[in-house]
A and B are shown apart, each in its own frame.
Chain A
């Protein structure tokens, strides 16, 4: 827009001819400066490879509209690392974590991973939550042959990027099936509408898998509309959806938009069931959505209310460490991802990234907070999902567990 506007006014100002030389010089100086920096990083790599200390790189969304994802995951990771260090670290050396914020942007995620690999020389990368950003950054990890474990990116394409990319969570074909099964069989709902975020790989994938399975189970998709993350007004789509009176509105988005969508749906007097995926898992969901999201269902990685002692031990320690905050599914996934990485490092001979990769790939029967983690040939974890019901602010009731 600014270009359109200034196009006409700008011409008289380009009188730089005598300054062009200066500008070219300045630009080349900057370029050379950066090149020198990178070079320094490279030489550091060979020097550091001799040190036998595990350095984990983490990239996540610490700020922006999905910041609770990054922050929860980071807390889970730090807890796992501190526990490992308290138990003596790895090969007598404490584990280090370098965390970078990608501000919820795919381009920043690529920059962050590039920096972690080429300048910080990490041996293993943990991240992201959002599938779009994992998909954007994974090719970098693959290219430099540094293993990357995504704690909770569920889109199938993430691990298809290459043999260095792993995840410790379930994938969307399964997650979509869980919610479709829950809607069609547990709640016995017949018709569904979908409102998907077309800018998010996660949302589009999950919406497709839900639709496919819901129809297979005899349900009908009577409306399938879209929005773009960052929108605030969804009334036009919701008006269209409301007129068709679906039994359930499936919103496979992230919590900020989901909160606004739920609120506007209830304002327009839509009274059906609201459902979504693990993108709902944030304390901000109820803050933004208010009572509109109460009673909604979403699939998640674990329930903090489970009476499994492994879970209770984790929840209590987490609450103690972080002022009584109940860990959500993403915190649990961060914790499990870091523990899988540390366990792999303990098994591997040296801490070279290629050896770490092989050790991670052999993860079988790992007792995690979010279930038993066994990585299959596609480098995905196969494990059950839980369905949670939103009861109050950051309070979710366990409804059911669905196994693959």
Chain B
């Protein structure tokens, strides 16, 4: 029993990171109907941003304040990169066929990966222990660390915050309007470009926060770290129904849980097979994902 709870906690902590990244994919898809492949690299840059902020703060010696500063630093850095990518790479293609944007997204992703290798080097770096890990709950067979609680709590708070923003603010209403029908929204006087930029900013900030949480749990940071996490988060977003916020959040959590349970009860060889097997099954059984809605599309 305790082993199961242990696995659930571990899986939930990992799923929270997937969920935060998945939200970025789903938000951009919601307003622009394309997959922002560069999102995985924004996550990676967030981790490096966190390392550098921690480096400036007296070698990252642990206090709650430095954790807050590192997190906000990484989020701000990611927001900047996200906005720049949108402005430079995607906005000029707003009226181009969607395939062009998709290929551009892949290009930006590869560009950022290789820039990362060029600037930071291919060797893994260590994410500083901004707050040291210790056990909050510790019985014979069940250990819950402060980092796990922090990861799950922060992600939950961010997701609730995002839900509030989308459902109960004017900005959120504008985002929903753009996602519903971009032409009509623009005719209603909604500043499309600004709303889209805002969507990228929020998605990137979430990725930045996810990167810091990830770095605290698994302190190995390298320029290719985004690839597999981005892929898993993307699958999670599709699983939950791409375009749906609740779907992305739940999809991420389920992905984390499923991975942990598969590794525990079956074998670690099936970890990635599971993620992509899941994608195939979902696309076969329910092509719109758990919470996705059927959209009329003229291609």
A residues lining the B interface (CB < 8 Å) = 1-2, 4-6, 9-10, 12-13, 63-65, 67, 103, 198, 225-228, 230-233, 235-237, 239-240, 242-243, 256, 259-260, 263, 267-269, 284, 287-288, 290
Contacts and interface: CB of A to CB of B under 8 A. Distances in A.
Interface size class of B (residues with CB under 8 A): 35 or more
28 contacts: A1-B234, A1-B276, A4-B283, A63-B121, A63-B123, A64-B122, A64-B123, A103-B122, A198-B268, A226-B267, A233-B218, A233-B259, A233-B260, A235-B260, A236-B264, A239-B6, A239-B7, A240-B3, A240-B264, A242-B141, A243-B3, A243-B141, A256-B124, A267-B133, A269-B135, A269-B143, A284-B124, A288-B219
B27 interface: no
B143 A290 contact: no
A287 B260 contact: no
The 3 closest A-B pairs by CB, nearest first: A236-B263, A232-B218, A63-B122
Interface in B97-154: 97-99, 102, 106, 117, 121-124, 126, 129, 133, 135, 138, 141, 143, 145
A380 to B, nearest CB: 31
Contacts of A236: 7, 10-11, 259-261, 263-264, 268
Interface of B: 3, 6-7, 10-11, 14, 35, 37, 97-99, 102, 106, 117, 121-124, 126, 129, 133, 135, 138, 141, 143, 145, 217-220, 222, 225, 228, 231, 234-235, 259-261, 263-264, 267-269, 271, 276, 279, 283, 299
B29 to A, nearest CB: 11
Grouping DSSP codes into helix (H, G, I), strand (E, B) and loop, the B interface class, with mixed when no group exceeds half, is helix
Contacts of A233: 10, 14, 217-218, 259-260
B279 A4 contact: yes
Contact of A10 (B10, B99, B138, B228): B99
A100 to B, nearest CB: 15
Nearest to B235: A1
Contacts, number: 103
Given A231-B268, A237-B268, A9 B220 contact: no
A299 B187 CA distance: 71
B146 to A, nearest CB: 10
Given A237-B268, A267-B133, A9 B228 contact: no
Contacts of A2: 37, 106
Contact of B123 (A12, A67, A227, A237): A67
Contacts of B219: 260, 263, 288
B280 to A, nearest CB: 8
B269 A198 contact: yes
Contact of A13 (B37, B99, B124, B235): B99
